[in-house]
Structure 1
């Protein structure tokens, strides 16, 4: 599909506006963001935040008219230190834990702090540039919990969050997966899917030809949380529409999108035939 062609699902459910994406830690070091297809089809807007100068300049150089990026450090609203590490992907407000890093090939080198910069963090709820928030994508190397805690008002509107979680904490005082899971469940979200799982080989065993070699040890994962679809009465019509759009386009979660359509029909927001039309438009995965 080109960006000029109509989108079947969008035309079927007709949300009142484009889906609003907020991307905290927008540096695309791990590949394309999950909303790329929506952005290409002009189905969403993006407000992004990236504190690293080079990454921000690159984002601004190639952005479309639907994207805005800001040099903000999102956190708990307090003053902090931004610790730039040898590789940009490990830059954090937290101090790398060299004891933990030493158990995995190359991590001690990658997590070496090369400079520190005082910063004033901003609470998610206080950022005026965020008018709507349907989908939050966040990767801030250990500060995710602080962002969620400072954004409870804005996150009441959100229907999906993709966040990095840690099973072993690479930074000192870093919240664990359990901490993140508990906070997001309290805010009305449930786990939906893992999009990536990061494993590594435990030292002293290593593969000199491949620093990314892995066996079983879990380090981190990217996980998607969605507004609890088992409590549809807690969502507005517009939230159900944006959840359907995100589920369909970002994750190919056609079952979740169909569930949203089912509830939209029950509320008389879209025609009864919509579920049949949607099911006819998708290809279910083969066993």
Structure 2
């Protein structure tokens, strides 16, 4: 669409090169900037970013992973623009939902289905769930794949009897049709029978003023089955484990509080900047 409408498109080949992004921003003064939460967060925490002229900037589009409230708040404070979340997967062409124009505050939702597309929240048996109840996000539309190439068994695992594609994401739909993503189904942590979603912990920890980035995984525990472990990239070297434990205890239910905390220099990320929780799990 950008090329079709005559816009100049600048491709950032290495989104980890923040200095290059800053130089490119100064050169082109973009109207629209797409990215993922980690890119927005890293840019917003760069001292030089605060000096950029954002008078031409109109829209930030976020996808690939949920945008944290702390990131959205800081981004709006610096640029004067909200982050607009969209949602989709490679199997959905890739767009499935979007937030309509005109929003003045960050909603924390990925919007409503794109035209000709059905999005349904389903239970483990493929049955639709009522508004406000969490379940798996399932998608049907002309842009959704027919199946994985020459992999009928894998295809059968992700397609329901109604030809809805199981996304593997847990979400909630409100009565207006807006969808909020909770987390990836496979990343859910089960603590003594209670479901704990990593994003909920990350939302809280990311609000702490000394935290730059955070990721959460579940690790085995003899008593509880699993317990949360968080990995933190700090802004301030004075940050301690005791600070985080005290902060999370004040903002989270006891069983959701991290049992283990590890400080790291950086978190494993994909080529586009998505945090790779599975890599953290593999290292345990």
TM-score of the two chains, using structure 1 as the length reference: 0.27
User: Which is richer in helix?
Assistant: 1
TM-score of the two chains, using structure 2 as the length reference: 0.27
